[in-house]
Amino acid sequence: MDLKSKKRIAASILNCSPYRVIFDEEHLDEIKEAITREDIKILIHKGFIRKKQVKGISKVRFVKLREQKKKGHRKGHGSRKGKKTARNDRKEQWMNRVRKQRAYLKELKEKQLISPNDYRLFYRRVKGGVFRSLRHLKLYLSEKGIIKKSE
């Protein structure tokens, strides 16, 4: 029996490819003398016949990228797919904008910088979408002289 057939038998025992079977160079004589599957099992147990480890795939780059993304990096224009509204919903943008404006109006009313009638008027205007942003609302209020200086 030549070493090729022993490699094939060892591969079937180790449950791997014959290409992954390694013979210990120092104990080739004992390996050549092995005839049966039992003999080869004994040699495997002694460590004269081993199977080569499968080459894995490193996740170093993946882990590094994931850490960067966790920090909020890699979100530039080149990484984006879809419309702006796919990432940030129009309704959510609207809700955030209106909530800020209403909170500001409430604060002005509590500090008595605007009258309850003005508060109600501007509350309705905010709901109607008259102001693009909180900055726009502040600018409008200061230009019209409703409050002295925007905070």
**Which CATH code is given to the segment(s) 3-51?**
1.10.1650.10
User: In which element (H, E) is residue 23 found?
Assistant: strand 21-23
pLDDT, tens only, 68-106 = 999 999 999 999 999 989 989 999 999 999 999 999 999
pLDDT for residue 150: 44
pLDDT for residue 148: 63
Please determine, for residue 134, whether its predicted confidence score (pLDDT) is greater than 80. yes
The whole-number average pLDDT for the span 136-141 is 96
Please determine, for residue 107, whether its predicted confidence score (pLDDT) is greater than 50. yes
Matching residue, tokens 């019209």: 144
Matching residue, tokens 């890699």: 74
Measured over the CA atoms of residue 131, residue 133, residue 139 and residue 142, the dihedral's sign is positive
Domain extents in the chain: 3-51, 89-143
**Which CATH code is given to the segment(s) 89-143?**
1.10.1200.60
Phi-psi region of 111 (alpha: psi -120 to 50; beta: other; left: phi over 0): alpha
Kindly state the tokens that stand for 112: 């008595």
pLDDT band at 2 (very low <50, low <70, confident <90, very high): confident
pLDDT for residue 147: 84
CA 40 distance to own-chain centroid: 48
User: In which element (H, E) is residue 95 found?
Assistant: helix 90-110
